[in-house]
Structure 1
């Protein structure tokens, strides 16, 4: 899969991804990458966030790989549950990092309007990366989401929410998960040829 033929769409979570966040680093180093900008990062509204994701996919006809973090993962699931087939077909796959469990008891109030989390299988290949000590989603919850969404899953040890606070500014190790997803997409493409 030649990198020039696809684009990478970065989908941040609650509060966005500041300059020192790994998603911002990846946007700087991955070719053909852009990010979904939201109108309100502090008080996210599911409908608005899903519409912004849809607009970002619709505005460019090139095939896209989604790279989502936290609430961005849940936004992808909501979008995929209602998106038109024409746009679904543009998505080659998704890397879903540290999904936020917006159904958990201690979920912050501004995120609760994203519940319930869609439980339908995603209509494109995906890799879900969780953590055994993520305060936003337990390892068991990450495994449940991966099973529901049909995602291949990796649960990392001791990496927290995989964000700046947990020491993941550049998260160079994360590229191995992106490359694994891309190899999966290439294998799937060869099987269909």
Structure 2
């Protein structure tokens, strides 16, 4: 299984579970040209290049935040057969709480994903309501796992290595 780490806006820094997984598990990070003011078409293109280079069918994508939207947009534009995706803390790019500076990430993609996926949401994420997280998971055909009041499931919310996330990843 080839695991591709797909960070969201700002990249995932030191101490973030995605960074820890990359460093300790040998997973590969999808690199973007612009982490602060991303353009959807660019992020989707970089993701597609990484998936093709990894060998597609045995790939599992691990997205956080804006990366979940990127993965759904990528799946609509490039319906490649992959093993699956773990979609953690999907941000609602249409919400008033979403940061400015991104281009092309609205409206939120609501296409069914052509691969197995698990969406992980919190009950108190500043960037998505529980209702919208459920709407995204239902539209994408994702199994939804709600982990309670866990903020944005990042370093600021107290998430380091996050072994429970690895359990979910192994289900894919």
User: TM-score of the superposition, structure 2-length normalised?
Assistant: 0.95
Q: Cα RMSD (Å) of the superposition?
A: 1.2
| Alignment partners' CA distance in 1, 2:147 and 2:163 | 14
Gaps of 5+ in 1: 1-5, 183-193
| Alignment partners' CA distance in 2, 1:39 and 1:157 | 34
1:52 aligns with 2:43: no
| Alignment partners' CA distance in 1, 2:104 and 2:9 | 13
Paired residue total: 171
Larger radius of gyration: 1
Corresponding residue for 2:151?
160
CA contact (8 A) 2:9 2:38 kept: yes
Gaps of 5+ in 2: none
Structure 1: 4+ residue segments shifted above 6 A: none
Say which structure is richer in helix.
1
| Alignment partners' CA distance in 1, 2:156 and 2:14 | 13
Structure 1 residues 42-93: Cα deviation after superposition (integer angstroms, max 9, x where no partner): 111111101100110112325200000000110000000010x4xx12x100
What is the deviation of 1:112? Answer: 5.5
Corresponding residue for 1:3?
none
Corresponding residue for 2:169?
178
SS in 2 for 1:116: coil
| Alignment partners' CA distance in 1, 2:54 and 2:103 | 31
